[in-house]
Amino acid sequence: MMERIPQYLFWILIFPGFVFTVLIGLVASWVVRKVSALVQWRVGPRLYQPFVDILKLLGKETLVPRGSQKALFFAAPLIAMTAVLLLSTMLWRIAFDRIDFIGDIIVAIYLMVLPSLALILGSSASASPHAAVGTSREMKLVLAYELPLALALVVIVIKNGGQLNLAQIAQNNVVFSISGLLAFLVALLCVQAKLGFVPFDIAEAETELAGGVLIEYSGALLAIWKLAQAMMLVALPLFLVLAFLGGFTVLWAGIAKYVLILVLLILIKNTNPRMRIDQAMKFFWVYCGFALILAVVLAGLGNYYGIGWL
Amino acid sequence: MSWKIWALKKSPWVFHVNTGACNNCDIEIVALLTPKFDVERFGIKLVGSPRHADALLVTGGVTAQAAPRLREVYRQMPKPCVVFCIGACACDKGIFANSYHMVGPVDKIIREIDPNAIIAYVPGCPPKPEAIISGVVKALSAL
Amino acid sequence: MNQKELKKRLTELEDKLIGIEEPRENCIYLNCESQNSFAVNKFLFEELRLRFVIATGIDAEDCFEVIYHYANDRAGSMVNLKAFIRNRKKPAIDSIATFLPAAEWIEREIHDILGIDFNNHPDMRRLILADDWPEGVYPLRKDMDSKIAQGWTCKTSIRPSKKSPARRTIPMKKPILAVGPFHPLQEEMEFFQLATDGEIVTDIDMRISYNHRGIEKISESLQFDQVPFLVSRICGICSASHPLAYVQAVEELAGIEPPVRALYVRTIINELERIHSHVLWFGLAGHFIGYDTVFMWAWKYRETVLDLLEEITGNRNNYGNVTVGGCREDIPDELKPRIIKDINFVEKKTNMLIKAVDDDPILHARLKGVGVLSYEDAVKFAVTGPTARASGIDIDVRRDESYAAYDQLDWDVITRPEGDVFAKVVVRLLEVVESCKIIKQAVQKIPDGPVAMKVKQIPPGEAIGRVEAPRGETFHYVRSDGGNRPVRHKVRAPSYVNVPSFKASCIGEHIADVTITLAAVDPCYSCTERLAVVDGENKVMHDYESLLRMSREKMDRISKDLGVEKLKLEDL
């Protein structure tokens, strides 16, 4: 066991963990900004912009607001970052080497919730009314999208005959069936909400809440948040690729799938106005919930009668 | 030049404060973000909280009611940061110099709480967006 | 009601008045003593259904005057009630805000600047003067002149203190959410306190003054021909409307008619301004609801209009083109084809935007039925411009009391009955199309000739100029004593009456809807606060810590009162 520790450390810290994910994540966040700019007839930022932003934030003073819960205020971004780091390392290992264990899809779900919880903790620790409103919205949003996301994964599990092993699930291309497609679309929207992109950027709505949950963060702590968000931009689409689109069987195909999901997210982001929190909850619970119940039934029937396309 | 300053110059996030301007400078600042001028090319981004900002764009000659708030916003900014006085009013109160309600200009108010603040001036009524870009670039390259 | 009927009804007031003057057609001045003003105002507003425009407070050396301006929109005329307050030591008059909410702000303002007390006013807090402006100093009283001339200004404390006479207010048992004074929602400063119950707004309070620059006072120190350059800096977006309203007042005072070509030039510039203002607003509205693509596209089209304005006047904003007796710059004939071409482009793109708004189900869901200002509330708050027209009130100064060349062109006034944010979007976009129509006609019809004439002397007297700015009616009142400076210059910008209507449209809304509701009025605080100063002590607005502390203290107090353990924010 002991002799493997250096290798685990290498996985987590260098490849495919921290350094690799951060690199990809920052490039992906550049793609998001650049494509948004092109849609808006602008030139947009240069490739190294996200890197410089992080570097600059690291060089700035970190202000801690008076009246805040200091320990929690510092811990929250670290919790978020650690969770995403674990998640992305795990997913990359599954994608590249099929290193897996039974039930890892459930671990993935938990790791995906952690950053949102950390955000809630951090912003409520920062003692600001705007952050407080942002917090309450983020909480409602988490409640709204976690249920459909879990249901979407239930569809996946049914389609794979009760398989809880992500590497096994990644062998199948579930999206080429009615229930799989429905589940994929809903999961895509849940990821949109998890990433805090329009139309679900309700918690960070800068015009309503002056930056919302992150309003009191500055300097290095803000840089950690930004890094965690950039890494989410890698981990969450990667999860979708593994769960729905058949994983990284061939490297270039896997990359193409990842880019496809990124482009879909950006397009949704740029063609929609922000939803109101009650509208978003209704959307996730009523419409997505209904679609998913249908998908679960279809998947069950398809499984029972052996009809693949249902 | 230290890496901190280098990164700051490549990625200045700005927070905009109106301390009693007529809106002209303000809409020109917003126009900077739009397709014709698009300052995101230079990494300039308008942010919603002074805690995230590296540069403070101030417009207006500072009314008595706005002065305490201007000081408070400056205090909330993490250092190092730069203050830009955009427009004639922010530079020297402009046409409102004789007003009973103007306590500015901006540099006077900022220096009261931080004598070493870095302050740059972009005159004009309103300065054209090109002038604002040029002012920001000049001030940053002088750092 | 036409002018004849109006005059007949006014005779009913005879026993309460001390005189009726009609210096010009369509402008009636009624004089009364201060004790009768309440009854006369009630009669004008409730019986004659006139629209309250604004009140002007004047220090007339031997007494104070409060002039209540009413508009009779059907006839395009003004009725002005002059109330004389003879007691200079303790000036007081009955408040009319009790039945006319639209007068609430202006009475507070007159109290700030002249020290006139309004009996029975519901909420006599400071409005336009800063929190640390000293008590008992009234900037528009004539005895302040010498002090200001000696360089007297208000001093502000470096550490703001906690007690403020301007301070609220909302009896708050609910958490407060502060919007402003520096908030990405608005380019300018103002401060809203929203009392919220969960995500629902239960009360709203506004604090302005951040933008008060004392323009009315500066105006008294400038010569008649210098004032347009000052008033064009009241607001950068209305920088053609304010000078035009002022110039029209002075021209009426001097009894001169500017050359016809100048009237057409004024029309074209004002309509270009309307287009750029409405498109600007449309883009910002998109930004407020997280539709950044719309924001970028709208502002891209707006640049076309700004380029035209720069070509004509030499500046993107602050044109300074209107002077007493005409215009400073002519529109050269070789520019005409380009104006037509660019306006056609803008019209095409606006029609595209209208179609996009109409086709977008999410926009319908997000904006319909949101922030409704009913017809009755709109009348009570005396709102103007697109805000009024979206609530079904059919008023437009361009048609009602036609100025410049509008009566020679063919165009329509757009109204919508719904009063919600969606109606305001639609009204503004359709108005852009109408403006394009007006400009194209004006460019074709513009006659040859000079654009300016010589003006010699401004005689003593008083006059009113009104202009339909992009946000509504801009009102300027000028009084001259025959010298070369105005002795009183009162400005009322449209936002001054539109902004208080938030009280009617915001309460009961969702927080997420409040921002777009506030924005829907297209508030312009620079305009609203041309005049005020400051007092007392203050509070730090954008300082969330102090805000939170305040709200926590309040929670503590309340929980103590109720004997209940308070809920901590951290527990959430």
Full pLDDT tens readout for chain A, 310 residues: 677 888 888 888 888 889 999 999 999 999 988 988 888 889 989 999 999 999 999 988 888 887 788 888 999 999 999 999 999 998 888 888 777 677 688 888 899 999 889 988 888 887 776 677 778 778 888 888 888 998 898 888 888 888 888 888 888 888 888 888 999 999 999 999 888 887 887 666 554 454 567 878 888 999 999 999 899 999 999 999 988 888 887 888 888 999 999 999 998 888 887 787 788 888 888 889 889 999 989 888 888 887 777 7
Mean pLDDT throughout B111-139?
Answer: 90
User: Does the distance separating the beta carbons of B7 and A52 come in below 8 Å?
Assistant: yes
Q: Which of C265, C392, C393 is nearest to C339 (CA)?
A: C265
Contacts of C176 in chain A (CB under 8 A): 129
Structural contact between residues C397 and C468, judged by C-beta atoms closer than 8 angstroms: yes
pLDDT at C305 over 90: yes
Question: In chain A, which residue's Cα lies nearest the Cα of B78?
Answer: A61
SS3 breakdown of chain C: % helix, strand, coil, rounded to 5?
Answer: 45, 15, 40
Domain containing A225 equals 2-305
Q: Which of C365, C487, C347 is nearest to C430 (CA)?
A: C347
Contacts of residue A5, defined as CB under 8 A and 6 or more positions apart, other chains included, come to none
In a domain, C571, yes or no: yes
User: Does the distance separating the beta carbons of A67 and C545 come in below 8 Å?
Assistant: yes
Structural contact between residues B63 and B90, judged by C-beta atoms closer than 8 angstroms: no
Contacts of A42 in chain C (CB under 8 A): 296
Residues 504-563 of C with CB under 8 A from B: 524, 526, 532-534, 538, 540-543
pLDDT at C566 over 70: no
Q: Any CB–CB contact under 8 A between B40 and chain C?
A: no
User: Does the distance separating the beta carbons of A59 and B54 come in below 8 Å?
Assistant: no
In a domain, A94, yes or no: yes
Same domain, C552 and C475: no
pLDDT of amino acid C547: 36
Contacts of C183 in chain A (CB under 8 A): 210
| ipTM score of complex | 0.92
Strand C486-492 relative to strand C472-480: parallel, antiparallel, unpaired? antiparallel
Residue with tokens 């319909």: C368
| Structural domain total, chain C | 3
| C-alpha dihedral sign at C372, C374, C380, C384 | positive
Q: Any CB–CB contact under 8 A between C218 and chain B?
A: yes
Q: Any CB–CB contact under 8 A between A142 and chain C?
A: no
**Range of lowest pLDDT (A182-186, C133-137, C342-346, C495-499):** C133-137
User: Does the distance separating the beta carbons of C209 and B65 come in below 8 Å?
Assistant: yes
What phi, psi does C32 have (nearest 5°)? -150, 165
Q: Any CB–CB contact under 8 A between A187 and chain B?
A: no
Same domain, C222 and C360: yes
Q: Any CB–CB contact under 8 A between C133 and chain B?
A: yes
pLDDT of amino acid C429: 93
Across C275-384, where does the E strand assignment appear?
322-323, 326-327
The more confidently predicted of residues C535 and B124 is B124
Q: Tokens for A99?
A: 């290193």
Q: Does domain B3-141 have CATH number 3.40.50.12280?
A: yes
The CA angle A84-A89-A94, to the nearest 5 degrees, is 125
The more confidently predicted of residues C549 and C456 is C456
Residue with tokens 């944010």: C421
Q: Which of C513, C517, C489 is nearest to C504 (CA)?
A: C517
Domain containing C550 equals 542-572
CA-to-CA dists, residue A203 to A82, A130, C194, C564, angstroms: 22, 10, 18, 30
Mean pLDDT throughout C154-178?
Answer: 50
Mean pLDDT throughout C535-551?
Answer: 31
**AA identity, residue A297:** V
The span from the CA of C329 to the CA of A158, in Å, is 76
User: Does the distance separating the beta carbons of A59 and B40 come in below 8 Å?
Assistant: no
Q: Tokens for A275?
A: 């939803």
pLDDT at B59 over 70: yes
Contacts of C290 in chain A (CB under 8 A): 198-199, 201, 205, 207, 272-274
- What is the C-alpha end-to-end distance of chain B, expressed in Å? 9
pLDDT at C162 over 50: no
Q: Any CB–CB contact under 8 A between A201 and chain C?
A: yes
pLDDT of amino acid C152: 65
pLDDT of amino acid C563: 44
Question: In chain A, which residue's Cα lies nearest the Cα of C364?
Answer: A273
In a domain, A135, yes or no: yes
Within 10 A of C455 (CB to CB), how many other CB atoms are there? Answer: 17
Mean pLDDT throughout C269-281?
Answer: 92
Q: Which of B27, B24, B23 is nearest to B126 (CA)?
A: B24
User: Edge-to-edge strand order for the sheet containing C461-469?
Assistant: C461-469, C472-480, C486-492
Q: Any CB–CB contact under 8 A between A33 and chain B?
A: yes
User: Does the distance separating the beta carbons of B101 and C153 come in below 8 Å?
Assistant: yes
pLDDT at C557 over 50: no
pLDDT at C11 over 50: yes
The structural domains of chain B, with segments of one domain joined by +, span 3-141
Distance from CA of C369 to the nearest CA of A (A): 14
Same domain, C276 and C425: yes
> Which band of pLDDT confidence, cut at 50, 70 and 90, is reported for residue C191?
low
Structural contact between residues C474 and C310, judged by C-beta atoms closer than 8 angstroms: no
In a domain, C101, yes or no: yes
Q: Give pTM, 2 decimals.
A: 0.85
Contacts of C298 in chain A (CB under 8 A): none
Mean pLDDT throughout C549-564?
Answer: 43
User: Does the distance separating the beta carbons of A211 and B38 come in below 8 Å?
Assistant: no
Across C60-208, where does the E strand assignment appear?
64-72, 77-85, 92-94, 117-119, 176-179, 191-197, 200-207
User: Does the distance separating the beta carbons of C548 and A199 come in below 8 Å?
Assistant: no
In a domain, C173, yes or no: no
CATH number of the domain where residue C68 is located: 3.30.460.80
Contacts of B43 in chain A (CB under 8 A): 45-46, 49, 52-53
Tell how far CA C319 is from the center of its chain: 20
Mean pLDDT throughout C75-91?
Answer: 90
In a domain, A310, yes or no: no
Tell how far CA C202 is from the center of its chain: 25
Question: In chain C, which residue's Cα lies nearest the Cα of A130?
Answer: C177
Q: Any CB–CB contact under 8 A between A69 and chain C?
A: yes
pLDDT above 70: percentage of residues in chain C: 82
In a domain, C170, yes or no: no
**AA identity, residue A240:** L
CATH number of the domain where residue C429 is located: 1.10.645.10
Provide the greatest CA pair distance for chain B: 45
Distance from CA of A42 to the nearest CA of C (A): 8
Contacts of A216 in chain C (CB under 8 A): 544
Q: Give per-residue pLDDT as tens, B70-89.
A: 888 898 888 888 999 999 99
Residues 74-113 of A with CB under 8 A from C: none
Same domain, C519 and C547: no
Mean pLDDT throughout C544-562?
Answer: 41
| C-alpha dihedral sign at C143, C148, C150, C156 | positive
User: Does the distance separating the beta carbons of C512 and A202 come in below 8 Å?
Assistant: yes
- For B8-56, the three-class secondary structure string (H helix, E strand, C coil) is HHHCCEEEEEECCCCCHHHHHHHHCCCCCCCHHHHCCEECCCHHHCCEE
Question: In chain C, which residue's Cα lies nearest the Cα of B126?
Answer: C317
> Which band of pLDDT confidence, cut at 50, 70 and 90, is reported for residue C546?
very low
The span from the CA of C487 to the CA of C460, in Å, is 10
**AA identity, residue C40:** V
| Structural domain total, chain A | 1
Contacts of B34 in chain A (CB under 8 A): 42
pLDDT of amino acid C237: 84
The span from the CA of A270 to the CA of C135, in Å, is 52
Same domain, C487 and C417: yes
pLDDT of amino acid C157: 59
Mean pLDDT throughout B94-114?
Answer: 87
- For C378-396, the three-class secondary structure string (H helix, E strand, C coil) is HHHCCCCHHHHHCCCCCCC
Q: Any CB–CB contact under 8 A between A39 and chain C?
A: yes
> Which band of pLDDT confidence, cut at 50, 70 and 90, is reported for residue C163?
very low
Q: Which of C290, C511, C513 sits opposite A133 (nearest CB)?
A: C511
Question: In chain B, which residue's Cα lies nearest the Cα of A55?
Answer: B7
Q: Any CB–CB contact under 8 A between C562 and chain A?
A: no
**Range of lowest pLDDT (B2-6, B47-51, C143-147):** C143-147
Mean pLDDT throughout C126-150?
Answer: 78
Instruction: State which of C124, C159, C174 marks the end of a domain.
Output: C124
In a domain, C534, yes or no: no
Q: Any CB–CB contact under 8 A between B63 and chain C?
A: yes
In a domain, C165, yes or no: no
The span from the CA of C226 to the CA of C219, in Å, is 9
Within 10 A of C423 (CB to CB), how many other CB atoms are there? Answer: 25
Distance from CA of A81 to the nearest CA of C (A): 22
pLDDT of amino acid C266: 93
In a domain, C82, yes or no: yes
User: Does the distance separating the beta carbons of A222 and B40 come in below 8 Å?
Assistant: no
The span from the CA of A60 to the CA of C229, in Å, is 43
